[in-house]
């Protein structure tokens, strides 16, 4: 579980001057911390810090908790000297919470209090904005990065922003702790797909595990008849298996799926990129022409698998999956200028959990551009808002390319592949031009919902540029 820390700041001089002010501010902080817990984070609330001495103590406590992210709640005016010791010691992403108790002070009732001492105490309970420029000034001068959430308690936009930051931090943690398996080799000549593994490990913190196809063969050879029958039952429960699927092809795919499951389990993989060909008639060719059903099952079980050894897209799929958006392996299929849409799909593996309607398991007489024949997945991504993500290796650095659109109804190609129609706010021509101009590979990950704002936060947490096309 993601660990987040929260500490509030105030000025110790105020507490004796304004009765009940500290307790009131601590109550506001508790409301915020409780909300973070509702968003799925393990929260370390170290209370109000009102002096440099308490700052050092809070820093030690948060360090012991090993928090992944830090929220600084500006409860009232406070000295920046109470902030710096905490953030300098922790060295983790920080979000400054400039959150008032209410949208606006009730001026009439406020001024009716009559006692300027009481009035000052009431004002200080709403004085969150006062310290924000001071803190930003100090952070800028000391090279500390930060973000803001500005608003008031109970405002939905504030909670949405907080949840998005927590989700983004969780995805960053998932990527740091992910083990990405690479199996086989690149599709020869796909220069755009070739990737720098060191850059990927550096950008995301991902461990990359090189695994061997002979290991898959070993597990496959040991698959028992009972395991095969159980796997075929899983095919039937997860997919609509069309009548044209031959029994021997189902058995072939089931054995390979069992082997892939064991490969993932034994290496503790959270994602996988693969491609292999093998000499015609070779046992390795038999394996790679029967991987799509098993890889599709893994992808739907939060172990995204990217074909054609597309390591960058395995990363993109893992990001989308960690956000709960799916992340289906896709490439550009065609454009429909009459309907102003772009068609994307692939021969697998898709994220079957985000399918519109039935997910069909169908036979393919030929895998286009690849050896052999076998079973494939035919499905469409859920109609409604979608987000496209590509992890791009540019000339210098890795960056994230994102676009929001809509999966729309209409005719698709019934060729035994995933296939969907997508519409974009800048039109099909504009989208194709602007997306391609950024230099991604020809693959991308497609997930449901509009989550570009979350991906932008992820980029800031990871120190990666995010380019949004639309």
Residues 108, 140: one domain? Answer: yes
pLDDT at 415 over 90: no
Check: CB of residue 366 under 8 Å from CB of residue 416. no
Q: What is the pLDDT confidence band of residue 86, given thresholds at 50, 70 and 90?
A: very high
Q: Tell me: the pLDDT tens digits for 423-456?
A: 999 999 999 999 999 999 999 999 999 999 999 9
Residues 8-53 pLDDT 10s: 999 999 999 999 999 999 999 999 999 999 999 999 999 999 998 9
Domain boundary among 166, 193, 219: 166
Using pLDDT thresholds of 50, 70 and 90, give the confidence band for residue 396: confident
Give me the CATH number covering residue 115: 3.40.50.10940
Angstrom distance (rounded) from CA 241 to CA 229: 14
Same domain for 158 and 240?
Answer: no
Residue 59 in any domain: the answer is yes
Q: Specify whether the CB–CB gap between 393 and 312 falls below 8 A.
A: yes
What is the domain extent for residue 445?
A: 177-468
Same domain as 412, residue 307: yes
Judge if 231 and 314 occupy the same domain. yes
Q: Using CA atoms, how far apart are residues 374 and 362, in angstroms rounded to an integer?
A: 9
Q: What is the pLDDT of residue 187?
A: 87
- Tens digits of residue pLDDT in 133-166: 999 999 999 999 999 999 999 999 999 999 999 9
Q: Is the pLDDT of residue 368 over 80?
A: no
Place 167 in a pLDDT band, splitting at 50, 70 and 90.
Answer: very high
- Listed in sequence order, the residues at least 6 apart from 258 whose beta carbon sits closer than 8 Å to its beta carbon are 219, 220, 223, 227, 228, 231, 294
Q: Give the Cα-Cα-Cα angle 65, 68, 74 (nearest 5 degrees).
A: 85
Contact of 469 with 437, CB cutoff 8 Å: no
For residue 343, tell me if it sits in a domain: yes
**Interval 236-259: pLDDT, tens:** 999 999 999 999 999 999 999 999
- Per-residue pLDDT band for 417 (boundaries 50, 70, 90) equals confident
In this structure, the answer to whether residues 295 and 159 fall within a common structural domain is no
Mean pLDDT of 158-185: 97
Is there a single domain that holds both residue 29 and residue 103?
yes
Using the predicted structure, report yes or no on whether residue 114 has a pLDDT greater than 90. Answer: no
Where does a domain end: 115, 138, 166?
Answer: 166
Q: Report the C-alpha gap between 362 and 376 in whole angstroms.
A: 5
How crowded is residue 188: how many other Cβ atoms within 10 Å of its Cβ?
7
Q: Which of 127, 147, 166 is the last residue of a domain?
A: 166
Within a domain: residue 425?
yes
Q: Tally the domains of the chain.
A: 2
Q: What is the DSSP letter of 186?
A: P
**CATH number of 323's domain:** 3.20.14
Q: Is 53 left (phi over 0), alpha (psi -120 to 50) or beta?
A: alpha
83 assigned to some structural domain: yes
Q: Is 327 a member of any domain?
A: yes
Question: pLDDT value at position 364?
Answer: 84
Segment 406-420 mean pLDDT: 91
Among the listed residues 250, 212, 234, 443, the one whose alpha carbon sits nearest the alpha carbon of residue 347: 443
pLDDT computed for residue 369 by the predictor:
64
In a domain, 172, yes or no: no
Arithmetic mean of pLDDT over the chain: 94
């Amino acid at each position: 579980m993601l660990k987040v820390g929260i500490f509030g700041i105030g000025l110790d001089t105020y507490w004796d001057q304004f009765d009940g002010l500290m307790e009131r501010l601590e109550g506001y902080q508790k409301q915020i911390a409780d909300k973070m817990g509702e968003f799925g984070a393990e929260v370390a609330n170290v209370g109000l810090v009102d002096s440099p001495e308490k700052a050092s103590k809070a820093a030690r406590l948060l360090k012991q908790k090993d928090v992944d992210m830090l929220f600084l709640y500006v409860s009232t005016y406070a000295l920046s000297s109470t902030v710096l010791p905490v953030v300098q010691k922790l060295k983790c992403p920080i979000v400054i919470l400039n959150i008032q108790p209410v949208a606006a002070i009730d001026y009439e009732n406020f001024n009716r209090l009559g006692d300027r001492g009481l009035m000052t105490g009431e004002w200080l309970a709403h004085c969150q904005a006062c310290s924000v420029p001071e803190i930003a000034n100090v952070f800028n001068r000391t090279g500390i990065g930060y973000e803001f959430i500005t608003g008031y308690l109970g405002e939905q936009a504030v909670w949405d922003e907080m949840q998005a930051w927590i989700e983004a931090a969780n995805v960053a943690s998932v990527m740091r702790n992910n083990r990405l398996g690479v199996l086989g080799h690149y599709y020869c000549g796909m220069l755009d797909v070739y990737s720098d593994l060191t850059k990927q490990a550096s950008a995301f913190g991902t461990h990359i595990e090189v695994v061997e196809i002979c290991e898959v063969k070993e597990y496959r050879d040991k698959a028992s008849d009972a395991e095969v029958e159980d796997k075929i039952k899983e095919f039937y429960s997860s997919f609509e298996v069309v009548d044209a699927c031959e029994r021997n092809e189902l058995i072939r795919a089931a054995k390979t799926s069992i082997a892939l499951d064991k490969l993932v389990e034994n290496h503790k993989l959270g994602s996988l990129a693969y491609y292999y060909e093998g000499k015609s008639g070779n046992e390795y060719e038999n394996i790679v022409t029967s991987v799509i059903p098993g890889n599709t099952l893994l992808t739907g079980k939060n172990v995204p698998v990217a074909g054609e050894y597309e390591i960058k897209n395995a990363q993109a799929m893992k990001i989308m999956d960690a956000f709960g958006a799916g992340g289906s392996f896709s490439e550009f299929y065609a454009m429909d200028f009459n309907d102003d849409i772009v068609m994307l799909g692939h021969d697998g593996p898709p994220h079957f959990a985000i399918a519109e309607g039935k997910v069909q398991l169908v036979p393919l007489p030929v895998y286009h551009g690849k050896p052999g024949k076998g079973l494939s997945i035919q499905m469409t991504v859920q109609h409604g808002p979608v987000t496209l993500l590509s992890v791009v290796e540019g000339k210098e650095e890795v960056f994230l390319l994102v676009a929001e659109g809509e999966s729309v109804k209409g005719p698709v190609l019934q060729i035994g592949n995933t296939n969907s129609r997508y519409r974009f706010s800048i039109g099909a021509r504009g989208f194709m031009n602007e997306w391609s101009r950024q230099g991604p590979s020809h693959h991308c990950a497609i997930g449901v919902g509009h989550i570009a704002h979350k991906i932008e936060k992820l980029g800031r947490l990871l120190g990666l540029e995010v380019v949004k096309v639309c």
